[in-house]
Amino acid sequence: MPETICLAFTGASGMPYGVRLLECLLTAGCRVQLLYSQVAQIVARQEMGLELPARADDARAALQERFRALPGRLEVYGREEWFAPVASGSNPPDAMVVCPCSMGTLAAIAQGLASKLIERAADVTLKEGRKLVLVPRETPLSAIHLENMLRLSRAGAVILPPNPGFYHHPRRVEDMVDFVVARILDQLRVPHALLPRWGDAGDSQ
């Protein structure tokens, strides 16, 4: 199981996926390095009523309290904090997830741009051969979107659109969120019990 996960929130719809993923990673005992864009702050407020403070220290304190995270398990870095560990290949995370991933962020990563810390961290993750999972939330997809995804897939990234299944008979929005988060955790090899696996006893088919 990876010990250190870099998690980035960007300005696409789907913030409940990212926040639930953060909760599950901390519960599983992972060390999480959290990054988020300015637009992600707006989306979090709009979709969840969640205030992500502009100051990294304030955000860490608020999220540690919200999820009862153990000391040292959650670090939050500012958008221009270039001395953050994730900015260098000498200290990369074991894996990185961008969830939700905007098409602008996806395009920047696909082109190797690194003018912002999120893009740089993704670039480091790819070049160091670590797992990069992108959770893009957009529909319909243009040819440009698809070409960028193909380019990233060929470079080794995992493209994981947040498409919930229905064979587990979800009854709440939270069940559909957990379906997607479970797939992300599987990619990271982080144990979870969010929902029954296909074919397991008790699975509804």
Q: Is residue 160 part of a domain?
A: yes
Q: Is residue 143 part of a domain?
A: yes
- Whole-angstrom distance, CA of residue 141 vs CA of residue 103: 10
Q: Is residue 64 part of a domain?
A: yes
43-69 pLDDT per residue, tens: 999 999 999 999 999 999 999 999 999
Strand order in the sheet with 131-136: 74-76, 31-36, 4-9, 95-101, 131-136, 158-159
134-178 pLDDT per residue, tens: 999 999 999 999 999 999 999 999 999 999 999 889 999 999 999
Q: Is residue 197 part of a domain?
A: no
- Whole-angstrom distance, CA of residue 130 vs CA of residue 97: 11
Q: Is residue 204 part of a domain?
A: no
Domains held by the chain: number: 1
Q: Is residue 121 part of a domain?
A: yes
Q: What is the CATH number of the domain that holds 171?
A: 3.40.50.1950
Which residues, in sequence order, are CB contacts of 25 under 8 Å at separation 6+? 5, 7, 32, 185, 190
